[in-house]
């Protein structure tokens, strides 16, 4: 069975197909700009946020040269006002949010969407938030038909869909082994930095949330899907040093593998940063270690956040020079394949594109019937891959053997 957004609901009774919440933030405004240029005719979409004046100013910018957007609907809502979020969720088929750190600001909107049967998308890379949402809201979302899809930006779309693309190149019904190697040339915004520092400083809470999730999650029977932390090594396949990345991405991949039989009876994924030289690898490890250590001290964490204010980000010129590449080495059934997903600025331009296309995909494409907390591969899979390829991201097979 396939369906579009709003399965089991009268989609026509809701005034909006897509609502973008947090539209006036840095990534939110980029996402709004993308929707302004790419939402199909007939798509009913709206901007939402805390300040009507800021929303109106954004609408004026979008409408310059696009007269049809002069009356784009504006919705005022605040994460501290649950009633406003419930009203927002009830008005839309799909709500996409850029308001983070999500562990602080995200859960009330998830709760509202799960209750209203509204599809929810975000950009989180926060494992604690994802696990707490699963425990508290997955069951209700399954009852109402809502799809809760986290990590719809650089975390974790290229990795989740890149692994799915790689799996498609390998034999079926055999054990599969895939390693992902991430390279990027880009800078980060204040909001991204704040989210990372928040996650680094909440190690105990993150571990507790993971334990609680394991108590609630059903066990996988007759199959295995794993994402163990690899060891640092030199990768002959890519000619780079590989450093294990303990991010949300491998967890997302493993959950896709657990949900989709195409990943085979025994699936393993490892996730690495790809660094050209050993000194760069050692330096990157030292910087990461220092940042994690600093994040444990509240006064240092707050000082760092103040220096990189949320809502700020790199210029258009700097973003135009940014890029990312993720290479995947897959093996199974006697076949070996090297694939690649690549694009432009990962943290902003491409992330805005991924979030917007994910929202349009849920709203307008024929998709598998899913509900509850699901990954991009499970909820949208090949349909979203096709959208992103059409939008300029590259998915390619580099080598087979």
Nearest to 238 by CA among 179, 288, 186, 280: 179
The model's pLDDT over 129-188, given as tens digits with 9 standing for 90+, comes to: 999 999 999 999 999 999 999 999 999 999 999 999 999 999 999 999 999 999 988 665
| Owning domain of residue 163 | 157-345+392-400
Q: Based on the fold, state whether residues 327 and 365 are members of the same structural domain.
A: no
Residue 379 pLDDT > 90: yes
Class of residue 398 by CB neighbours under 10 A (exposed 0-12, middle 13-18, buried 19+)? exposed
**Can you give the CATH number for the domain in which 13 is found?**
3.40.50.720
Averaged pLDDT score across all residues of the chain: 89
Q: Based on the fold, state whether residues 259 and 284 are members of the same structural domain.
A: yes
Residue 90 pLDDT > 50: yes
Q: Based on the fold, state whether residues 265 and 382 are members of the same structural domain.
A: no
Find all residues with CB under 8 Å of 329, minimum gap 6, and list them.
178, 179, 181, 235, 237, 238, 336, 337, 338
Q: What is residue 44's predicted lDDT score, i.e. its pLDDT?
A: 98
> Higher model confidence: residue 81 or residue 65?
81
Q: Based on the fold, state whether residues 308 and 341 are members of the same structural domain.
A: yes
Nearest to 110 by CA among 150, 74, 76, 72: 150
Q: Based on the fold, state whether residues 49 and 123 are members of the same structural domain.
A: yes
263 CA to centre of own chain: 20
What is the largest distance, in Å, between two alpha-carbon atoms of the chain?
60
Q: Based on the fold, state whether residues 131 and 185 are members of the same structural domain.
A: no
> Higher model confidence: residue 83 or residue 347?
83
243 CA to centre of own chain: 22
Residue 29 pLDDT > 70: yes
Q: How confident is the model at residue 249 (pLDDT cuts 50, 70, 90)?
A: very high
Class of residue 369 by CB neighbours under 10 A (exposed 0-12, middle 13-18, buried 19+)? exposed
Give strand pairing partners of 76: 49
Q: Based on the fold, state whether residues 370 and 282 are members of the same structural domain.
A: no
Q: How confident is the model at residue 7 (pLDDT cuts 50, 70, 90)?
A: very low
Question: pTM here?
Answer: 0.90
The model's pLDDT over 46-64, given as tens digits with 9 standing for 90+, comes to: 999 999 999 999 999 999 9
Cβ-contact 241, 274 below 8 angstroms:
yes
What's the structural domain count of the chain?
A: 2
Q: Based on the fold, state whether residues 374 and 302 are members of the same structural domain.
A: no
Q: Based on the fold, state whether residues 332 and 378 are members of the same structural domain.
A: no
Q: Based on the fold, state whether residues 257 and 224 are members of the same structural domain.
A: yes
Q: What is residue 126's predicted lDDT score, i.e. its pLDDT?
A: 93
Q: Based on the fold, state whether residues 317 and 382 are members of the same structural domain.
A: no
Q: Based on the fold, state whether residues 375 and 238 are members of the same structural domain.
A: no
Q: What is residue 313's predicted lDDT score, i.e. its pLDDT?
A: 78
287 CA to centre of own chain: 25
């Amino acid at each position: 069975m396939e369906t579009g957004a709003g399965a089991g609901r009268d989609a026509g009774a809701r005034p909006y197909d897509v609502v973008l919440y947090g539209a006036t933030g840095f990534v939110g405004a980029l996402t709004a700009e993308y929707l302004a240029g790419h939402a199909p005719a007939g798509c009913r979409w709206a901007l939402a946020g805390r300040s009507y004046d800021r929303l109106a100013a954004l609408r004026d910018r979008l409408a310059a040269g696009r007269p049809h957007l002069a009356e784009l609907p504006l919705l005022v809502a605040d994460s501290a006002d649950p009633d406003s979020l419930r009203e927002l969720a009830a008005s839309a088929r799909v709500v996409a949010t850029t308001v983070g750190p999500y562990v602080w600001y995200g859960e009330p909107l998830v709760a509202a969407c799960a209750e209203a049967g509204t599809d929810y998308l975000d950009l989180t890379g926060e494992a604690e938030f994802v696990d707490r949402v699963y425990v508290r809201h997955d069951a209700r979302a399954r009852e109402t038909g809502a799809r809760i899809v986290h990590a719809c930006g650089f975390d974790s779309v290229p990795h989740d869909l890149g692994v799915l693309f790689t799996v498609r190149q390998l034999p079926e019904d055999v054990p599969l082994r895939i390693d992902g190697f991430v390279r990027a040339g880009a800078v980060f915004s204040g909001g991204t930095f704040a989210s990372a520092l928040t996650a680094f400083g909440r190690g105990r809470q993150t571990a507790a949330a993971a334990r609680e999730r394991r108590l609630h999650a059903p066990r996988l029977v007759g199959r295995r899907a794993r994402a163990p932390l690899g060891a640092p090594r030199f990768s002959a396949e890519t000619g780079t040093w590989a450093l294990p990345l303990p991010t949300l991405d491998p967890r997302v991949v493993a959950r896709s593998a657990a949900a989709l039989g195409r990943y085979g009876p025994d699936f393993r994924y490892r996730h690495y940063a790809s660094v050209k030289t050993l000194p760069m690898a050692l330096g990157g490890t030292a910087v990461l270690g220092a940042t994690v250590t600093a994040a444990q001290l509240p006064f240092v964490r707050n000082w760092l956040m103040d220096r990189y204010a949320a809502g700020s980000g790199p210029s258009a010129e700097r973003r135009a020079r940014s890029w990312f590449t993720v290479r995947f080495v897959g093996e199974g059934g006697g076949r070996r394949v090297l694939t690649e997903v690549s694009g432009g600025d990962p943290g902003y331009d491409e992330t805005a594109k991924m979030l917007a296309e994910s929202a349009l995909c849920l709203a307008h494409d024929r998709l598998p019937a899913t509900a509850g907390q699901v990954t991009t591969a499970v909820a949208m899979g090949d349909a979203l891959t096709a959208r992103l390829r059409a939008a300029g991201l590259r998915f390619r097979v580099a080598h087979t053997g």
